[in-house]
């Protein structure tokens, strides 16, 4: 009998579904599958899509998937993450809406993930699910997240290309809050571009882009130092140079979707020619390696430490008789507490 990993690599969609559940729940089987699958990863283009609730991310992701299916025949995985609430656990996103257009197409696979426990846990689970899709041979993985917090930033670190989606009429205050989010954007999308307030939103975004990106760039070219004016406005992105373009879309009727897809393709070419693709991969995998080292060391240490001893140390800390530093020293040296 073929095991799940072999079945997945052979294109079995049921095996994919089952493995995703194992991996999401962080079971022993899920972990060992991730380990086996790892050598098959590193091929998919990971695209993050983030933005506030109500800007139409789901429709946009839906339309992008349809576009890619029609124009390129690339296979598409969609991961819909909802970390809205770090405390009560978010709602499962409405998959049925998408299903109407994408149902029955074996080249599209949709997976919803709600917040489970910590935000850190969600970013971790999303990374794992992404690896499964990558190993299963999906060409593009669209990772959709709701909100404007640290979880989005973490998930964006996962993606090669991050779209930040806005909509007209959301006011200046929101823009200010999302200053941090804007900085992770590779492509800015103003969806619902038929709504009033489009010009205002575009102006606000351009203003923030100008603050986020220096006006002049100095770099070496054929051994000479050159100064380049920021191409903001002109949007002349080159092989070595990327300023987030602003794309206007109306996801409901498909307006602007081909242009958005073209922007995404351009960004991939930029990542490859500039060496940024490899840099992002390296930094991502280094973070993963470090987290795993930390995890393994801590688990080992805690399992070798008698629970009563840890509890005793914690009580002494609570009573302010021992500082956390002294406690750690004592616990590590096996001293009596």
Looking at the Cβ atoms of 11 and 53, the one nearer to its own copies is: 53
Task: Please give the structure tokens belonging to residue 223.
Answer: 């051994």
Render 205-263 in DSSP notation, one character per residue: HHHHHHHHS-SEEEEEETTEEEEEE--TTTT--BTTB----EEE-BTTTTBTHHHHHHH
Q: Is 232 in the site for its own copies (CB under 8 A)?
A: no
Give residues with Cβ within 8 angstroms of 17, minimum separation 6.
none
What is the spatial distance between Cα 215 and Cα 304, in angstroms, rounded to a whole number?
56
Looking at the Cβ atoms of 101 and 326, the one nearer to its own copies is: 326
Task: Please give the structure tokens belonging to residue 183.
Answer: 């900085």
- Least distance from its own copies to the Cβ atom of residue 39, Å: 5
- Least distance from its own copies to the Cβ atom of residue 13, Å: 24
- Least distance from its own copies to the Cβ atom of residue 144, Å: 16
- Do the beta carbons of residue 174 and residue 111 sit within 8 Å? no
Burial 216-252 (b: 16+ CB within 10 A, else e): eeeeeeeeeeeeeebbbeeeebeeeebbbbbbbbbbe
Binding to its own copies, residues 149-168 (CB under 8 A): 149-151, 153
How many amino acids of this chain bind its own copies (CB under 8 A)? Answer: 65
The binder of its own copies chosen from 219, 226, 292, 335 (CB under 8 A): 292
Give the interface segment with its own copies, choosing from 7-15, 223-231, 243-251, 320-328 (CB under 8 A): 320-328
How many C-beta atoms surround the C-beta of residue 78 within 10 A?
Answer: 26
- Least distance from its own copies to the Cβ atom of residue 253, Å: 23
Alpha carbon separation from 30 to 4, 37, 148, 240, 316 (Å, rounded): 10, 10, 29, 39, 39
The binder of its own copies chosen from 262, 289, 334, 335 (CB under 8 A): 289
The binder of its own copies chosen from 177, 207, 239, 273 (CB under 8 A): 177
Interface residues toward its own copies, by CB under 8 A: 31, 34-36, 38-42, 52-54, 84-88, 119, 147-151, 153, 170-171, 173-174, 176-177, 179-180, 183-184, 212, 278, 281-282, 285-286, 288-290, 292-294, 296-298, 301-302, 313-314, 317-318, 320-321, 323-328, 331-332
């Amino acid at each position: 009998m073929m095991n799940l990993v072999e079945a997945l690599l052979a294109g079995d969609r049921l095996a994919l579904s089952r493995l995703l559940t194992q991996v999401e729940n962080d079971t022993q089987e899920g972990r060992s599958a991730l380990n086996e699958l790892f050598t098959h990863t590193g091929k998919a283009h990971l695209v993050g899509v983030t933005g506030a609730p109500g800007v139409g991310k789901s429709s946009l992701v839906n339309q992008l998937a349809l576009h890619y299916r029609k124009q390129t025949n690339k296979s598409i995985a969609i991961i819909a993450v909802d970390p809205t609430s770090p405390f009560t656990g978010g709602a499962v996103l409405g998959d049925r809406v998408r299903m109407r257009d994408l149902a029955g197409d074996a080249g599209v696979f949709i997976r919803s993930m709600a917040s489970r426990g910590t935000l850190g846990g969600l970013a971790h689970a999303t990374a794992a699910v992404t690896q499964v899709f990558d190993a299963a041979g999906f060409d593009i993985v669209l990772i959709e997240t709701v909100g404007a917090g640290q979880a989005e930033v973490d998930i964006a670190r996962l993606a090669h290309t991050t779209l930040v989606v806005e909509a007209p009429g959301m006011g200046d205050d929101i823009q200010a809050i999302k200053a941090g989010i804007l900085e992770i954007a590779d492509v800015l999308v103003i969806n619902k571009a038929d709504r009033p307030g489009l010009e205002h939103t575009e102006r606000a975004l351009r203003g923030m882009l100008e603050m986020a990106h220096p006006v002049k760039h100095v770099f070496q070219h054929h051994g000479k130092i050159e100064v380049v004016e920021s191409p903001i406005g002109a949007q002349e992105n080159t092989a070595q140079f990327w300023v987030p373009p602003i794309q206007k879309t109306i996801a409901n009727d498909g307006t602007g979707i081909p242009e958005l897809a073209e922007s995404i393709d351009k960004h991939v070419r930029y990542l490859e020619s500039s060496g940024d693709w490899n840099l992002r991969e390296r930094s991502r995998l280094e973070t993963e390696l470090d987290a795993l080292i930390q995890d393994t060391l801590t688990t080992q240490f805690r399992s070798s430490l008698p629970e009563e001893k840890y509890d005793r140390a914690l009580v002494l800390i609570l009573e302010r008789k021992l500082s956390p530093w002294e406690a750690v020293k004592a616990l590590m040296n096996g001293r009596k507490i």
